[in-house]
Amino acid sequence: MFHMLINISAAIIALSILITLYRVITGPSAPDRVVALDMIGINLISLAAVMSLILNTTAFLEVILLLAILAFIGTVGFSKFIEKGVVIERKRD
Residues that bind other proteins (CB under 8 A): 59, 62, 65-66, 69-70, 72-73, 76-77, 80, 83-84, 87-93
Q: How far is the CB of 22 from other proteins (least distance, A)?
A: 29
Identify which of residues 54 and 70 has a Cβ nearer to other proteins in the complex.
70
Report the alpha-carbon distance of residue 61 to residue 46 in Å, rounded. Answer: 11
Identify which of residues 3 and 84 has a Cβ nearer to other proteins in the complex.
84
DSSP string, 40-72: HHHHHHHHHHHHHHHTT-STTHHHHHHHHHHHH
Q: How far is the CB of 53 from other proteins (least distance, A)?
A: 17
Residue 87 contacts residue 58 (beta carbons within 8 Å) = no
